[in-house]
Amino acid sequence: MINPPYRAADDRYDNKMKYERCGHSGLLLPRISLGLWHNFGDVDPLSRSREILHYAFDSGITCFDLANNYGPSYGSAELTFGAVMKGSFQPYRDEMIITTKAGFDMWPGPYGNFGSRKYLMASLDQSLKRMNLDYVDIFYSHCYDPHTPIEETLQALVDIVRRGKSLYVGISNWPSDKAAEAYKYLAARDCPCLIYQGRYNMIDRRVVSDGPLAAAKASGVGFTAFSPLEQGVLTDRYLNGAIPDGSRASQGKFLKSDYLTPQLLKSIEGLNAIAAGRNQSLAEMAIAWLLKDAAVTSVIVGASSKAQLATTLKALNNTTFMPDELTAIDMLTAPLSPSI
């Protein structure tokens, strides 16, 4: 049976999604963006990936967050997105914010990672081919490179915009002092940094304690949060103390099983009780907790199914917290480790 051609939902902008201005720019981003780090690689069925992407756009999600090495395997998430772009999204390209990044490991040898001009430009050229695009909307330096002169990395970003390969540029995972340098350099060349992308959730608040969140806000730079569920910890998956088969803790790559300490599990139970009192799941509350922050432009969520994404979007329904709820959340999360 041949699937009928995709037509986006006519009501995709009818109050399904809320949009926030990104820093001092003219660009609005959806409060929730879809990240393709997992579940969109060549190990995943294209039909399921397509279904999730279609549902996201039909729900008002206009921002799709990728990177050169998302998959697995490396590059395959971009290939998946490129197949959907060519097959069904092309008529809606101007309604979308498509982002990609380069910085972490991508290919062998001395030119396949970090922040050299050669790597950033070569990587973006490859990304555009994989995604069937002439340009991306946002291109990120995915990590700070302590070995390459900062001016080389930043000038490459400037030139990428001037060559029309990206409309905006951003930085991700940069320390706050280097981020401040980047903001000044880029602004002085009429290519202001649009956005900072950082890891942020109820447990891991280092973007607050180490300064990147405040630095972005002070410089008129937007902020998008990734890992809002702390690799699945802030869900009901580990509430009973067991490690389900197929979970990230069971795989041990991005979440180590020894991270799930008795203290952490007790705190998660307490957070779940607060969420229940708000008529939310723990995952919904974790995302709503980020969305309450005026400094957060958008939250990047993952999805392994259409149903999971539908549940995640319910977080938009209640992003207001009472003072006693915030105090209780802080008390439960303060003792926890900030890293995995």
- For residue range 138-150, what is the model confidence (pLDDT) as tens digits? 999 999 999 999 9
Residue 61 scores a pLDDT above 50: yes
185-233 residue pLDDT tens? 999 999 999 999 999 999 999 999 999 999 999 999 999 999 999 989 9
* Count of structural domains, the chain: 1
pLDDT at 2: 58
Query: Residue holding tokens 């050669």?
Result: 118
Q: Is residue 117 part of a domain?
A: yes
Task: Examine the pLDDT at 66 and tell me if it is beyond 70.
Answer: yes
Does residue 335 belong to any structural domain of this protein? no
Query: Has residue 286 got a pLDDT over 80?
Result: yes
Q: What's the whole-number mean pLDDT along residues 330-339?
A: 81
pLDDT at 336: 84
Q: What pLDDT score does 250 carry? A: 44
Asked if residue 232 belongs to a domain, the reply is: yes
Q: Identify any residues that bridge with 226 across adjacent strands, giving them in sequence order.
A: 199
Q: Which residue has the higher pLDDT, 234 or 339?
A: 234
Q: Is residue 61 a part of any domain in this protein? A: yes
CA atoms within 13 A on the CB side of 15: 1
Do the domain assignments include residue 266? no
Sign of CA dihedral 210, 214, 215, 216: positive
Q: Which residue has the tokens 């139970």?
A: 269
Residue 34 pLDDT exceeds 90: yes
pLDDT confidence bin for 339, thresholds 50/70/90? very low
Contacts of 323 (CB under 8 A, 6+ apart): none
How far apart are alpha carbons 182 and 157 in whole angstroms? 10
- Place 238 in a pLDDT band, splitting at 50, 70 and 90: confident
**Residue 96 belongs to a domain with what CATH number?**
3.20.20.100
Whether 94 is in a domain gets the answer: yes
288 belongs to a structural domain? yes
pLDDT at 340 over 70: no
CA 276 to chain centre: 26
Among left, alpha and beta (phi > 0; psi -120 to 50; other), residue 116 is beta
The stretch 70-91 carries a mean pLDDT of 98
Cα 6 to its chain centre, rounded Å, is: 25
Is the pLDDT score of 243 beyond 50? yes
In a domain, 276, yes or no: no
Residue percentage of the chain with pLDDT more than 70: 93
Q: What is the mean pLDDT of the chain?
A: 93
Residue 249 has pLDDT above 60, yes or no: no
Radius of gyration of the chain (CA): 20
User: DSSP string spanning 118-145?
Assistant: HHHHHHHHHHHHHHT-S-EEEEEE-S--
Judge if the upstream peptide bond of residue 335 is cis by omega within 30 degrees of 0: no
Range of the domain at 85: 19-237+283-317
Contact yes or no for 99/70 (Cβ under 8 A): no
The answer to whether residue 337 scores a pLDDT higher than 70 is no
Backbone phi, psi, residue 198, to 5°: -145, 155
Q: Is the pLDDT assigned to residue 30 strictly greater than 80? A: yes
**pLDDT score of 65:** 99
What is the pLDDT confidence band of residue 16, given thresholds at 50, 70 and 90?
A: confident
Cα–Cα nearest to 101, from 226, 286, 219:
226
| Burial of residue 59, with CB atoms counted within 10 A of its CB: 0-12 exposed, 13-18 middle, 19 or more buried | buried
Q: Are 123 and 104 in contact (CB under 8 A)?
A: no
Q: What b/e readout covers 275-286, taking b as 16+ CB neighbours within 10 angstroms?
A: beeeebbbbbbb
Q: 10 Å Cβ neighbour count for 203?
A: 24
Cα–Cα distance between 173 and 40 in angstroms, integer?
Answer: 22
